[in-house]
Structure 1
Amino acid sequence: MRTTVVQEIELERFDVLKIQSIDTVSQSFNARCLVRLRLIGAKARREAFVTFKDGRATESVEWFARQIEPYNSFEHDSCKLIDEKPKITDAGDDLLIQLRFEGRFYQPMRLHAFPFDSQELRIEFLILCRVDGPVPAKVIVSPGVESSLVDRGFAPRFQWQPTGGVHCFVDEHKANGRIFPKFGATARVARKSRFYVTNVALPTAVFSGLAFTLFAAQPSEPLERLSVAFTLLLTMAAYKITVAGMIPQAVSYETLLDQFLLCNFFLLVAMAVVSALLPQVGHDAEDLADRVCLALLGAVWCLIQAWFVAKAWSRKD
């Protein structure tokens, strides 16, 4: 005879013990966590926690504990239970299940704001017992839930910094008409952008700013101006190739840093085009056209830099 009593489970503790690495290219991170669940009123049924079909087959709470598996593991066996078996202890009329998992978790990451992006890291677990099965379970977050991210266990501290604490949640997973309980926790981390600003964005802004030195040559001497423009274009292209390994490449859209680099690159292209066309306007209008182009291109350069700084400032807020 199948039981119809819904087992209430409280998520009592969720500690992220370690985050070893965060990989935005493979969309994954390596972490270790500790989970503690309280099974309300389950002590009396410890050895006969689950009854199957006609009542002739039963399983203990240890069997139930082994049905808790990582939901968003990167690969099938990339997340494993650290201990040989789950730790189960008595707590009055309740039972406590404590598990420690370690492995690689899959996490979709949005890099539109790179290098000023922040990412939400989710660790999710699934209880492989249907809500309408032999042991229907309802998971809730305990009002006094303990959750933390151990500071000394955060390895990528030179590239990322935690923002806020660890937040627990419960949910349901639906598959082929069946519903399974799901729970987990999230932690948000923000990228430290100083490396990318000083090694990529700042040199690019300097290269495009140096291009204005071509206006020191007379507009009637386009070869001198074009020489400066093409030299800086080649310098920027070579620098872009050099720093390509520093920025994410496995995304099908432009990040904020990509847009900034492209804007500065096309500004240099515009200067080269202007230098080639100015002699065609005639000697009388040449000086006026030169000053107008200098003012317009200078305004565009200032707008590009101001836009990038404003984006960076807004992301930090």
Structure 2
Amino acid sequence: MNRLAGYTYFFAVLCALLLFSGRSLAVEEAGDAEKVVYVYVVILDVDAISSADQSFTINYYAQFRWTDPSLAHPGPGSIRRSLNDIVAPRFILLNQQKTWSSLLNLVDISPEGEVIYRQRLWGDFSQPLRLHDFPFDSHTFELPMLAAGDLGEQIKLLPDPDYPSFISSELSVADWSITGYSEESRDIVLTDEAVGGGYVFSFQAKRIFNHYVIKFIIPLILIVAMSWVVFWIDPSEAGSQLSVAVTAALTLIAYHIALAGKLPDIPYLTRMDMFLFCSTLMVFTALVEVVVTSRLASDGKLHLARRFDQVSRVLFPSVYLGTAGWAFFSAAA
């Protein structure tokens, strides 16, 4: 009896070892396997691009297509099942923020086992931006995707050769111009030590700066030019000079307050910030020049005060033109 029990125990242990070995081998083979998923992306609309929030809002459609022989069926047509009811990759948009989906979590399966999963999202996606050239900047906006499989299965995302991705020609965003788009399969760096193979759809956009030139840059130039009027007022009329100079300075302060909410809130200087700083410095320098010439006139040195004004008529516009050119056309930081 004891011998029979010993044989039974030995047989059970042997079966357990064989089962464990077989399962380990299956997992190892699954880990070495690679499933190809073809991706098709359409940007239906770009609603907004927010420089301050470092994000963009889009209406997006994607189709994922792969083959799984285990899902083949008699047919004759395709069947529809829930994505949660089958063994399927899970697709992740890495820069997704707040989004809403308008399609159900379903897949269509052909008799041959071809699976098609469709996804449509609307919402916000993060995008780090380098705004040093604002408002003459252009950027690349990306939708990086990763896919995770079961049992260590490796998923390779590739652009769908049958359905080339594209972006709609008519978009809602008003202050940006879409200059191009592309799609590629590439490694995506998650951390310093983790790299995942993924798919990236990207589009290039250039800011339309006419709005900023007409509403912000030209009025600022006029405010600075108003401060130069003092150079054509005789230094003997110190009251009139000071009145114009102070009015220009107060107008510039009000302009700064009005412009505060229109510029991106970032911890570094943009081209627009440098231009604002140069313009403010010019108006303040003109005010200082008026104080100096008024003091010279009151001290009986009217000729020297007039000479200062004559030089300033040429010096100030020349310096301003040079600093404006440096601010807008120098190499990006």
**Normalized against structure 2, the TM-score is what?**
0.75
Equivalent-residue separation in structure 2 for 1:17 and 1:208 (angstroms): 44
Q: Which residue of 1 aligns with 2:88?
A: 64
Match of 1:163 in 2: 179
> 2:282 & 2:85 partners in 1: Cα distance?
67
Correspondence 1:239-254 to 2 at 5 A: 239-248=255-264, 250-254=265-269
**Identity, % of aligned positions:** 21
2:206 is the alignment partner of 1:190: yes
Q: Given the alignment of the two structures, is residue 79 of structure 1 paired with residue 99 of structure 2, yes or no? A: yes
Say yes or no: does 1:272 pair with 2:272. no
In structure 1, stretches of 5+ residues that fail to align are: 48-58
Alignment of 1:28 onto 2:55: yes
Alignment coverage as a number of residue pairs = 291
User: Larger Rg: 1 or 2?
Assistant: 2
| Mapping of residues 94-109 of structure 1, within 5 Å | 94-109=114-129
In structure 1, C-alpha distance between the alignment counterparts of 2:228 and 2:192, rounded to whole Å: 64
Which of 203, 213, 229 aligns to 2:219? It is 203
Q: What displacement does 1:273 show?
A: 0.8
Moved more, 138-147 or 269-278: 138-147
Structure 2 partner of 1:217 = 233
**Could you report, residue by residue, the CA deviation over 1:107-132 in whole angstroms, capped at 9, with x for unpaired residues?**
112222222222322112221338xx
In the TM superposition, what whole-angstrom CA distance separates every residue of 1:148-205 from its partner, at most 9, and x where no partner exists? 11123x211x222211124334324546966543222111222222221111110110
Q: Which residue of 1 aligns with 2:141?
A: 121
Cα offset, 1:271, TM superposition: 0.9
Corresponding letter in the other structure for 2:251: T
Give the 3-state SS of the residue equivalent to 2:214 in structure 1. Answer: helix
CA distance in 1, matches of 2:277, 2:54: 25
> Structure 1: which amino acid aligns with 2:87?
W
CA distance in 2, matches of 1:215, 1:176: 60
Q: CA deviation at 1:283?
A: 4.2
1:261 pairs with 270, 276, 300, which one? 276
Separation of aligned partners in 2, 1:251 and 1:261: 15
Q: Is the 8 A contact 1:209 1:301 kept in 2?
A: no
- Secondary structure of the structure 2 residue equivalent to 1:243: helix
Q: Which amino acid aligns with 1:105?
A: F
Deviations 1:75-102 (A, max 9, x none): xxx2354321243344967544433333
When the two chains are superposed, the root-mean-square deviation of aligned CA atoms in Å is 3.1
Change (3 A) 1:284 1:110: same
- Decide whether aligned partners of structure 1 residues 287 and 125 sit closer, same or farther in structure 2, where only a CA change above 3 A counts: same
Distance 1:269 1:175, change over 3 A: closer
Residue number in structure 2 paired with 1:140 = 158
8 Å Cα contact 2:106/2:117 also seen in 1: yes
Match of 2:38 in 1: 11
CA contact (8 A) 1:12 1:144 kept: no
CA–CA distance in structure 2, aligned partners of residues 176 and 205 of structure 1: 47
- Provide the C-alpha distance between the structure 1 equivalents of 2:60 and 2:272, rounded to a whole number of angstroms: 34
Q: 1:155 to 1:169 in 2, by over 3 A?
A: farther
Q: Say which structure is richer in helix.
A: 2
Paired amino acid for 1:243: L
Pick closer, same or farther for the CA change 1:266–1:179 going to 2, 3 Å: closer
Distance 1:256 1:309, change over 3 A: closer
Q: CA 1:9/1:100 → structure 2, altered by over 3 Å: closer, same or farther?
A: farther
Alignment partners' CA distance in 2, 1:117 and 1:203: 21
Q: Distance in 1 between matches of 2:169 and 2:319?
A: 44
Q: Which amino acid aligns with 1:44?
A: P
Change (3 A) 1:171 1:244: same
CA change 1:287–1:91 in 2 (3 A) is farther
Q: CA contact under 8 A between 1:72 and 1:123: conserved in structure 2? A: yes
Using the size of structure 1 for normalisation, the TM-score is 0.79
- Residue 45 (structure 1) shift: 2.8
Q: Distance in 2 between matches of 1:204 and 1:22?
A: 25
2: CA distance, partners of 1:84 / 1:210? 62
